[in-house]
Amino acid sequence: MKRQWYAAPYAIWMLLFTLVPLLFVGYYAFTDSSGAFSTNNILRIFQPGYLPVLLDSLRLSLYCTVLCLLIGYPTAYFLASRDFSENKMLVVLILLPMWMNFLLRTYAMMTILENNGLVNLLLEKLGLNKIQFIGTEGAVLLGMVYNFLPFMVLPVYTALKKLDARVIEAAEDLGANPIRVITRVIIPQSIPGVVSGITMVFMPAVTTFAITRLLSNGMIYLMGDMIEEFFITVNNRNAGSALSLVMLVLVLISTLLFRLANPESKGGRA
């Protein structure tokens, strides 16, 4: 029984800084400015002016998640393979961007993509015309992928590193070619890491606002920007809390759907 008390500091921390703020968000979401019960703030998101913003947020988050998976899975595979497994420096290079502040990484991307940035200077040296990156959906998507890619690589890398090499050798001994080994052995066994990576990328991507503000110059407006505007600019915590609560529910639903792909955290169940 005494060992259970070791978790008391963590439980107190979660109570004060997770559960209590969520209770406040729920309270403000279902009340109006006078404190009376109201569902108008929740229903606001289904109005014509708000629903397109929600759909754009979900769409860009889905694009970001798919791109991170397409880039991150091969990267994790090569890092976990026999040829690269001894080179720990490559893993450190994946972790290195995560040691830097999120805003600093976004500012760095902004300086690269701006009109006089590195990309346009390179195009100018090659005799090509400059391209307007900042203020476009592509710049926002690139910034999202750049910031959230490590969250896809690391879970997949961890899952692939745990694979029993004898299973792969057995498949090869039984005549499986490399493509069949990847599709029938490696990918099914790495599904838990893929599901974790999808969850870790999709959740922050769907509520991001700093990336859109810096890389779109206000041209791209997502749910994160709307929530920040209600809290900071409009000073309407009721509407901001309601939108935050709706996004929380959508993220939880998405997480549950992702988890259904592998309910027992075992490979081969997707």
Determine whether domain 50-260 maps to CATH 3.40.640.10: no
Rounded Cα–Cα distance for residues 207 and 222 (Å): 8
Rounded Cα–Cα distance for residues 149 and 153 (Å): 6
Helix ranges (DSSP H) in 81-175 = 88-95, 102-113, 118-125, 137-161, 165-173
Can you give the residue ranges of every domain in the chain?
50-260
Rounded Cα–Cα distance for residues 114 and 128 (Å): 16
Per-residue pLDDT of the chain (270 residues; tens, 9 = 90+): 577 787 888 889 989 998 999 999 999 999 998 889 999 999 988 888 899 999 999 999 999 999 999 999 999 988 887 666 556 777 777 777 778 888 889 999 999 999 888 899 999 988 888 889 999 999 999 999 999 999 999 999 999 988 887 888 888 888 888 888 888 888 888 998 998 999 899 989 998 988 998 998 888 999 999 999 999 999 999 999 999 999 889 888 887 877 776 655 444 333
